[in-house]
Amino acid sequence: MKEILELLENDARLTFKQLAVMIGKEESEVAGLVKDLEKNKIILGYHTFINWEKAGEEKVSAVIEVKICPQREVGFDAVAERIYRFPEVTTVRLVSGAYDLVVMVEGDTLKEVANFVSQKLATIEHVLSTSTHFVLKNYKIQGTIIEDGEEDRRLVITP
For 50-112, the three-class secondary structure string (H helix, E strand, C coil) is CCCCCCCCCCEEEEEEEEECCECCCECHHHHHHHHCCCCEEEEEECCCCCCEEEEEEECCHHH
Residue 159: is its pLDDT beyond 70? no
Domain boundaries, the chain: 2-39, 60-137
CATH class of 60-137: alpha beta
Backbone angles phi, psi at 118, to 5 degrees: -75, -35
**50 in Cβ contact with 31 (< 8 Å):** no
Residue 132 pLDDT > 90, yes or no?
A: yes
Confidence band (pLDDT; 50, 70, 90) for 154?
low
Mean pLDDT of 100-107: 97
Q: Residues for the chain: how many in total? A: 159
Q: What is the rounded distance in angstroms from the CA atom of residue 38 to the CA atom of residue 159?
A: 53
Q: Is the pLDDT of residue 21 over 80?
A: yes
